[in-house]
A and B are shown apart, each in its own frame.
Chain A
Amino acid sequence: MMTPKLGNRLRVFCAGLMISGATIAGIAPAQAEELTVYGAKAKDHFAELIAAFQAKEPDLKINQLLDSNGPIIARLLAEEANPRADIILGAAVPGLVMLEERGMLEPYAPEGLDQIKDRFRDRRSDPPHWVGTDAWASAVCFNTAEGERLGVPAPQSWQDLTKPEYKGMITMPNPNSSATGLLAIVGWTEIFGEEGAWEYMDALHENVSQYVHSGSKPCRMAAAGEAVIGISYPAPGVKAINNGVPLSVIIPEEGVGSEVEGVAILKGARNPDAARRLADFAASQEGHEIHNKYYALVGRKGVSNPVPNYPEGEEEALVDVDFYWVAENRDRILAEWQERYGRKDEPK
């Protein structure tokens, strides 16, 4: 006795259609070839690399997830049983080492590996599990306009930063989420010894206004005048200076720790071919020219274009850092740091 159903039947049908449609759309594999990239690089560096790679591969759908080093590594660890990423484009080497030790990385020798400097590749195996693209050192970003307004001079050394006149003016990345933060700490460990480093950080803590989530944020905050001093790394500061911001990037006298970031392919990647192509690109001359725009120190030999306003003496001031030591001691150091200084953390 069902007379022609209008309105509601249609609605129910449509609702049902939508539910099933949405579910199918979500679950079914996409038609186009896809590559999922996780990265912890600086935003603009990452964007440029992806754009250049995409230009070479117009049919490839690139899904990208960019965050700070800590969350990306944590996410990868959480997804260990069911990896969703194909390739890691830019993560700090200690993190990559950690993943490698858990057997999560696929060894691969990208094209042009012979041109890569020794420091910038996994020396423990061949083919390497990871290849470095660029390196950077800690640096201090100092807002000269704010400094003038508040009557404080530019700091020249790490020790300077503990002076009482800088109280509340400093921001620094939380090493738990940012490789840059960890890098600074590791540098201090090399310079002052581990005991000395904790003493130094106790003193520094007094002057810190906030610990932030991302590695470049302290420098950007200094560039925006939200903080006077940011402990970070040169690239964002240099960019700001070139944009006309009254900022200076300082390499502290005692020396600076350095960090290498690199590329690695995940074991169990859904699209290992495209992943290898991206790895090749990242290691290539073209890729390195892009890296060089942001960092003076890059993996490939012979690529070195001076970036205007990049601070002098970065390479000389580098303190030697043993990645494997860092990878081993990372958890312990981070836990202790959180214990001592976790309260001033920016809620991120």
Chain B
Amino acid sequence: MSVVFFNSLRISVISTAITLLIAGVYAFALTHSRMPGRGFFRAVALMPLLTPSLLPGIALIYLFGTQGFFREALFGHSLYGPIGIVMGEVFFTFPIALMIVLTSLMTIDRRLYEAAKTLRAGRVRTFFTVTLHAMRFGLSAAFFAVFTKVFTDFGVPITVGGSYPVLATDLYQKVIGGFDFQMGAVVGILLFIPAAIAFLIGHLLQRGHSAGIDGSAVIYIPEKSRGRDIACFVFCAAVAAAILGILLMAVLGSLFKLWPYNLSLSLASYNFTAHESSGWSAYGNSLKLAGGTAVFGTALIFFGAYLLERMPGAAWMRAVIGFLCMVPLAMPGMVLGLSYIFFFNNPSNPLGGIYGTMTILILSTVVHLYTVPHLTALTSLKQLDPGLEAVGSSLKVSRFVTFGRVILPVSLPTILRIASYLFMNSMTTISALVFLYSANTKVATISVLLLNDNAMLGPAAAMSVLIVATSAAVVSLQWLLMQGLLRRTNAWRGKEA
């Protein structure tokens, strides 16, 4: 047991360190250089968010597995095991780290640099005292966010973990393989505690930091430096190439007829009905899940945030519920799924009827993904003038009308962002669902898992590509809608929302 725990710990620390290093330099390059293509690099960096965590594992098998195209690059070591896991996790958590660090770098006041220059501080000194100092909070917050993600991730270790056990896969084996619920609960708790601790620390850090943002800060514009720009460009190009490489490998892998002996291209892997008794229904189920979560989740979360933020009275109740809304972020998906089996599959539970249906999948996913959209909604609602309800009341109009006619339309971009976040994450999530799916509610990510289980790499890659494509389509749709909307409904703000 302790072996597994320390494996997870080790992997998480190593992987997080590497990710932070790469993300840190990448973020620096994006904000503190004048290299060309920054927009492009930024977009590419966010792409792993669209993928289920199974995808990097599968792509890595094609690249560095026993028959992989670049297997020599590992100098004789096997991909399966810690090496593969770390590689997959770095890919998967890179955007998360980047976004956090980027935020901290972007808010550096230019005047600090000017002051440093006036005081004749050298470039290196300035870097350490200004840049790195500001990154401090970002890096620490990113450390805990990434650590939690890696520690609790299931998709990467299950595809490339080989015989190296980690908590997530151990939990799966105990519950699914042996139906040992007892030990399953124990492993689940072991998974939960570090995640909860990391979450708490990260949360406290973020709170401390946000006090430091000064509204009158001036954004930093880097001075010219050819050498630095070239170095940054090369670095970012390498990282972007790695990310795109993994994505493309997955696509390519799905097109091989019979890897590794027949590399002719064909769409045979996409013919799911031939490989899988449920055929395309898994994909259909994913769409149902994602759609249901997006619709139900957005309504619930946004209205919930509204209640918490803008309702008068009931202060302690709002505080308690507000706290509860944060808890899901500390819960690893697998632990949530496991606890749902215990709670809902109990014959004495009146709600037990939902076990095995799409409802429980949607419910668990909404709870699992609750916190981030909740915070987004809160932030957005805080920015609205507190007097709105008062105005509505003085016009003798009900609160609900105020909500419907003023608050909703103005918050539309936020609502869209939340819906798209929920949709995207539901398409790619697997951890909570591995324990809750049943014969007719198998979703695409589970299908990928089962296909990989049977060493049917091509169809697994194909289904993963399908998932990514769907997420990408929805995100693009959301982005387009946003552009149009922002212009119309947010003109009153005067600046970018």
A residues apposed to B, CB below 8 Å: 1-12, 14-15, 18-19, 22-23, 25-27, 36-38, 43-44, 46-47, 50-51, 63-67, 70-71, 74-75, 77-78, 81-82, 84-85, 145, 174, 176-177, 209-211, 213-214, 216-217, 220-221, 223-227, 243-246, 343-348
Contacts and interface: CB of A to CB of B under 8 A. Distances in A.
Residue picked from B158, B358, B401, B454, most chain A C-beta under 10 Å = B454
A302 to B, nearest CB: 28
B470 interface: no
Contacts of B278: 64
A343 to B, nearest CB: 8
A81 B358 CA distance: 22
A5 B259 contact: no
Contacts of A174: 177
Contacts of B403: 7-8
B117 interface: no
B401 A6 contact: yes
A7 B408 contact: yes
Contact of B169 (A145, A244, A348): A348
Contacts of A214: 453-454
A23 B164 contact: no
A8 B453 CA distance: 47
Given A22-B362, A23-B359, A84-B438, A224 B455 contact: yes
Name which of B261, B277, B354 has the most chain A CB atoms within 10 A of its CB.
B277
Interface stretch (B38-46, B294-302, B327-335): B294-302
Contact of B454 (A50, A217, A226): A217
Top 3 A-B residue pairs of the complex, sorted by shortest distance between their CB atoms: A7-B404, A347-B169, A26-B357
Nearest to B166: A347
Interface of B: 61, 65-67, 80, 157-158, 161-166, 169-170, 172-173, 176-179, 258-262, 273-278, 292, 295-296, 299-300, 303, 347, 353-354, 356-360, 362, 396-398, 400-401, 403-405, 408-409, 438-440, 450, 453-457
A77 B180 CA distance: 12
A27 B357 contact: yes
B393 to A, nearest CB: 11
A26 B358 contact: yes
Contact of B177 (A4, A14, A37, A70): A70
Given A36-B439, A348-B173, 8 more contacts: A11-B303, A11-B404, A47-B273, A63-B438, A64-B439, A74-B179, A78-B179, A220-B456
A266 to B, nearest CB: 13
Nearest to B261: A245
Nearest to B165: A347
Contacts of B292: 18, 22
Given A11-B404, A22-B359, A70-B177, A344 B163 contact: yes
A226 B65 contact: yes
A148 to B, nearest CB: 13
A82 B353 CA distance: 12
A15 B296 contact: yes
A7 B397 CA distance: 13
Nearest to B362: A22
A6 B172 contact: no
A71 B300 CA distance: 36
Contact of B440 (A19, A38, A63, A223): A63
Nearest to A225: B67
Contacts of B398: 1-3, 5
A9 B403 CA distance: 9
Nearest to A43: B454
Contacts of A36: 439
Given A210-B80, A213-B177, A224-B455, A14 B347 contact: no
Contacts of B172: 347-348
B287 to A, nearest CB: 15
Contacts of B277: 43, 46-47, 50-51, 64, 66
Contact of B455 (A9, A14, A85, A217): A217
Given A5-B398, A65-B438, A227 B408 contact: no
A10 B173 contact: no
B106 to A, nearest CB: 34
Contacts of B276: 43, 47
Nearest to A37: B439
Contacts of A75: 179
